[in-house]
Amino acid sequence: MTASESPLAQYEAFLMRGELAYQVDAQGRPVFFPRVLAPSGREGPLAWRVSSGLGTVYATTYVTPRGEPAYNVALIDMDEGYRLMSRVESVPADQVRIGMRVKARVRPAEGDDSPYPVFDLLEAAR
C-alpha cells in the first residue's frame, strides 16, 4: 500500500516554490485549511489552486513579549474567499489595521521551520 501525500505536505510543496495554495471544491468554492475530504457544505473532490496572494486584514493583534520586539498576528481574508492566520510585516506591529489591503510573500524554510506565508502592505491598492 502506498502512503498518501498529506494535505500539509502538498501545501508546503507549493510554499517551497514560492506559492500560497488553497483547495477548491467541485464547484470552485474555497476550502482552507487543506484537508483530505470536502467538509460539509462543499462538494468533493478537492483540487489545489494557487492564490493571487491578495487579501484584506480581517482582525489584528500584536504581542509584546518581555524584552523582545512586538510582532503582529492577524487573520487575513483572501480575495478568493478563504481566511488564514498570518502576520503583516511591512509596517510596525501596532500599526496594522483592519481593512488594510495586503499581499502574501513566502517566508522560506529556516532550520526546522517549514516555509509559511507572511503579508506586506499592498501600497498600490490603497
Partner 1 sequence: MKGQLTRGAAAIVGVAESDLGEVGAGMSVVDLMGQGVAGALEDCGLALSEVDGVFAAAGQSRMPSLALCEYLGIRPRYHDSTMQGGSSFMTHVAHAQGAIEAGLCEVAVIAYGSTQRSAGRKNVAPREFNPYETPFKPVLQASAYALAASRHFHEFGTTREQLAEIAVAARQWALRNPKAWEKEPLTVQAVLGSRMVSHPLTIRDCCLVTDGGGALVMTSAERARSLRKPPAFVLGTGEGISHLTISNMPDLTVTAARASGAQAYAMAGLKPQEIDVVEVYDAFTITTLLFLEDLGFCPKGEGGRFVQGGAIAPGGRLPVNTNGGGLSYCHPGMYGVFVLMEAVRQLRGECGARQVPGCETAIAHGNGGALSAQSTVILGSAATV
Q: Which stretches of the chain bind partner 1, using CB under 8 A?
A: 8, 33, 58-64, 71, 73-75, 83-87, 94, 98-99, 113-114, 116
Minimum gap (Å) between residue 7 Cβ and partner 1? 10
DSSP E strand boundaries for 1-126: 21-24, 30-31, 47-50, 54-63, 71-78, 83-86, 101-107, 116-121
Residue with cell 495554495: 21
Question: Half-sphere exposure (CA, 13 Å, Cβ side) for 108?
Answer: 3
Of 1 and 120, nearer to partner 1 (C-beta) is 120
The answer to whether residues 99 and 121 touch, using CB atoms and an 8 Å cutoff, is no
Q: Read off the C-alpha cell for 1.
A: 500500500
Question: In the bound complex, what is the minimum distance in angstroms from residue 32's beta carbon to partner 1?
Answer: 8
Q: How far is the CB of 109 from partner 1 (least distance, A)?
A: 11
| CB closer to partner 1 out of 96 and 124 | 96
- Residue closer to partner 1 (CB basis): 4 or 124: 4
Residue number with CB closer to partner 1 (45 or 65): 65
